[in-house]
Each structure stands twice: as C-alpha cells, then as structure tokens.
Amino acid sequence: MWVSKLTRPVLTIFLCISTVSANPVSRLENRADLEAFIDRQSDISIKGVLANIGPDGSKAPGVPAGVVVASPSRVDPDYWYTWTRDAALTYKALIERFVAGDTTLRSKIDQYVSAQARLQGVSNPSGSPESGGLGEPKFNVDLTAFTGPWGRPQRDGPPLRATALTIYANWLIANGARSQALNTVWPVIAKDLAYTVRYWNQTGYDLWEEVNGSSFFTLAASHRALVEGAALASKLGQTCNGCAAAAPQVLCFLQSFWTGSYVDSNINTNDGRTGKDANSLISSIHTFDPLANCTDATFQPCSSRALANHKAVVDSFRSKYEINRGIAQGQAVAVGRYSEDVYFSGNPWYLTTLAAAEQLYSAIYQWQKLGSVTITAVSLPFFRDILPSVAIGTYPSSSSTYTSLLNAVKTYADGFVAVVQKYTPADGALAEQYDKGTGVPRSAVHLTWSYAAFLTAIERRDAPAPPTWGEPTANTVPRVCTAPPSCNSRITFNARVTTVVGENVFVVGSLTQLGNWSPEAAVPLSAERYTSNDPLWFAAVSLPAETSFEYKYIKKTANGQVVWESDPNRRYTSSQGCDSSATVNDSWR
C-alpha cells in the first residue's frame, strides 16, 4: 500500500567582515581554545569508538570481533547491546576514515563484515532471514537474538549497513581487491538491498525507536543505499533486483515529508508532535554528496529546504532548555531530538548538537565547490539570522557577501561544537545526553554514536569529503509517484473468547494493518458464529506476505474500557506467496 503523506588538514577560514550586515555576527571569543578542544577531543573520540568494539576494545570485554556495543552502560539505561543502526553509522565513519588514509582500521572493517554476515542469519522476533528478520533493531552482544519487548521492526538498519559496506566495496575494487568485494562484502550488501526494496514502503519504527509510521530518516537512507547499491552491482557484474526501479519512487515519497518550511520527520502516524526532529538533520548529513548541487529534492546540506529545516529544528529548542536561555537568535544552542521528548526528562544530546554543526560544515564544502551561495525565499530566514541584511540572490565567490556568508555560517557551526565543548567533562567522555538545566552528562556513558558523531562533524569541518554516492544522477523526482506491487496474504484470526453482552473483541498488533498497537485502530472481530459451546470471534485480514509480526487480542466493554489479554505478545509469520492464505487459532488468556 502506498503510504505517502588522521592528521587534520588546515581549513582556510575567511576573515572578512560583512559590509551588508547591520548587526555584525558575534564571533567565538576563544577560537584557540576551541581548536585545542577539537584536537584533543578528536583523539579521545576515535579511542572511544574503538574501545566499544570487540574483541579488544577496553570497554567491550568478551564481545566478538567486529561487534559494536552501543555503550558499556548496563543499568539505567541498559545499552549493552549491538544496534544495527548505531553499528552501521559508526562503521560508516570508520570506513570513511579508512578511505581517507587510516589504514590501521582495515582489520576492524573486515571483522565488521564477518559479524554482520553472521547477524543476517539470526532469526529473531522481527522474523527469519527471509521474512523480515533484517529489520530487527538490536541483538545481544554475543550475536544472539534479543527477544524482549521492543519497537520493531526498524527498517533503517539494512540500508545504513549497505551504505557503509558499499563505500568499503568500492575502495576494495579500486585497490586490487575486487574478489573480496564480490565474494565477501557484496553478499551482505545484497541481502540488505533486497530487504530495502521489499520493505521501503511499509511502516516501521523511527531511529529513536518510538514512532511507528513512515520515517524521513529511513526513506532518505533507503534512497541513497538503493542508488549506490545498483551502481555497485553493475560494477561487480551482479544484479540488484528492483533497486533501480525503487530508488526514484523512494525519492518521490520523500517529498511528502516537506511541509513548505520544514521536514515533518514522521508521517502516517498520529504521534502528537510537530515533526521538527533532529532525525532530519542526521538525514541531511548522511545523504551529503560532495559532488551534488544544493538540491532540494535530496535535501542536500546546502539546499534551501535543508537550511530552512535546520533553522526550524534548532529554533524549536531555543526556549526549551534552561541552558539555552539568553542565547541570541542566530547563535548556536544545545539541540535535542525533538521538543516533545520525555526520555530521561528530555535533554539535549551530544550527537544531535553535533549534527547541527555537521550539516553546516557540509554546506560550506558544497558552496566552496560550487563557487557561489544562492539564497531563496525558503532559505532567507536561515541566512538573516546570521547575516541580517542579506537578501535573496546568488552571490559568487568573488563577492564580499559570499565571504561574509561563509564566515557567518562557519562561526554558527563552530558554535554548536563550542556548546559540546562547554558540556563535555574534562576527561572527554561523551555520554548520550547532557542535562537541560545544568549541562551535566546524562543517560548512557561513553555512547559510541556520540564519539562517532564528533569524528564526522570535525572531518566535515576540516573539509576532506567522503566518496560520492551518485546523487547528481539520482535526484530527479518522478512526475507521478507509484506504489510497488503489493504481495499480501489473507490471515484469518480465530479467537475463542468468552464475552458478555456489550463486549466486543479486536485484534491489534505491530503492523499498520493491525493498528500499530493502538486500541482505537484495532481490527474488530465478528461474533457471527459465536455459541456458548464455541465462543468464536473471527476476522480475515490482508497482511504483507511472509512477514513476522506480534499481536494480541483485546476486549472493549460497553462503557469503553479496554481489556488486554495477558503477556507475552503473540507472534506469527504470514503465509508465503502473493494472495496466499492461512488461519491462526487462539484462545483468550
């Protein structure tokens, strides 16, 4: 169903003051101190990442080779797991660093490939390897399935892993190791691409693992993976069934998230939020292509849409946190996930604050490559925050306004790093969050993703660009969005539930077709065949074929009370084959 709705090189810093700004942008007062912090924290961060990877990471004792532990924290919160998403983003950072010249990382990367190949074969609550299991978000650190309750499936892991390994495969091909790319790396990528082709148009949980719907981040990651995956397959003489056809349709769907002034990060869900979410900043930096123009369709970092969205997301936190009070418009503030966040009372995160910086550093790279900055009506509010007198137009690199604009954006971006500096403890340990009132580190300690986010932000600041993923030839939006062919099975739910007059029975579960666990959207069962000897309630529901899901039955009383059957959740895998059918027989518990 279509559901739209190393050694750091020196960066040249421009020092001219704008001649068009009526109110000069305030500069960072402690530039030398910031540079010293960046140098020190960069070293701490790469060591922090490696410490959380088995088998020899100092904070990952007993963890298998190539497995990334999210955090050594095992209590309040327990992050002693390996997340497919976190690991893929971490290894994308490591692989980009390797491609840029850090050859010490190759064995770690090869170990990651082997570990992921093993994980792809582990059956889990999201399904078997063939029925959706690649969408399982996290595993135990020993590479066994985590079977507890969780927001599943999460469909961003496979495309993110495919992207990280595609970068590596392309390097292998270019450096005389084509056989390794073909025989070892490609099989892992191929499975992830097949998953992405099959499931990109089905709902799932977002990267924060809270909202079940259509996620901007997941779709952006899927588009990139399909584009570069199709190109890699051609290079290796392999097939990527459906990749080339699906990619433009994913891009078409992505346009549905644009509201006209910002990205609504989760649609096709009733989450009660504005949609202003740092996942859109992370999407922009993930899909940054150094050869791209400032393309709105792919939300490139320098695009008018991405800049307007940057302002909307950052501004949503200006009055949200006590530590942001008194900071003027156009100056950097602490950034969280989304303003309605309540996890650990809702605090800013290191990685989201760094994402705000990284998008701007990437935009600067693109403007310098293009040799101009274009300001549109959409992006004008962003630019006027940092250079108040600027107007709509295109400013070539020979102009003083161009120089002033890059100066102002660079200062703004550095401000976000300075916020991280302010709230980083003396030992450089990066937790997940820092307190919205005091700035004290909160939640999981030594978060791998926080360290990786610091590394990628500073790499973009210092201007070494990651490899292109092919955006310039994959940014055309089809005139008409078309849905992929559906492949459904008809599942009949037979439930024996003794009820009284006025009670009704429903089935609810983890699929959109089963209401995404919402009692209000649950599927009603019929009592047409109910007798005192056989209290049968039933309903036939069309579900995606060969898909694992969880479900339960609920009663709704005459006065509207909802009664859930007891734990645990029931699990089932729909039948194989399009237009197939199956029946489940259950009794209320």
3-class secondary-structure state, position 515: helix
DSSP state of 378: T
CA distance 126 to 510: 10
Catalytic residue among 206, 264, 435, 586: 206
Tell me if the bond preceding 425 is cis, omega within 30° of 0. Answer: no
Sheet with 266-267, edge to edge strand ranges: 204-205, 212-215, 266-267
Selection from 181, 53, 184 nearest residue 118 by Cα? 184
Amino acid (one-letter) located at 140:
N
Please tell me the number of Cα atoms within 13 Å of 211 on its side-chain side.
27
CA distance 322 to 438: 8
Check: CB of residue 323 under 8 Å from CB of residue 349. Answer: no
CA distance 291 to 366: 8
DSSP state of 54: T
Selection from 554, 526, 556, 520 nearest residue 540 by Cα? 526
Alpha helices in 72-185 (DSSP H): 84-99, 106-119, 157-174, 178-180
CA distance 395 to 383: 13
Selection from 551, 565, 589, 562 nearest residue 503 by Cα? 562
Here the tokens at position 466 are: 């990651």
Please tell me the number of Cα atoms within 13 Å of 67 on its side-chain side.
25
CA distance 58 to 54: 9
Selection from 210, 202, 186, 164 nearest residue 66 by Cα? 164
Please give, one letter per residue, the 3-state secondary structure of 265-330: CEECCCCCCCCCECHHHHHHHHCCCCCCCCCCCCCCCCCHHHHHHHHHHHHCCCCCCHHHCCCCCC
Amino acid (one-letter) located at 480:
V
Helix (H) or strand (E) holding 523: strand 523-524
Q: Is 277 a catalytic residue?
A: no
Check: CB of residue 589 under 8 Å from CB of residue 561. Answer: no
Q: Is 39 a catalytic residue?
A: no
Amino acid (one-letter) located at 282:
I
Amino acid (one-letter) located at 494:
N
* Degrees, nearest 5: CA angle 429-209-116: 75
Is 150 labelled a binding residue?
yes
Catalytic residue among 102, 110, 130, 209: 209
Residues of each annotated binding site = 150
**Annotated binding residues for substrate:** 150
Residues labelled catalytic? 206, 209
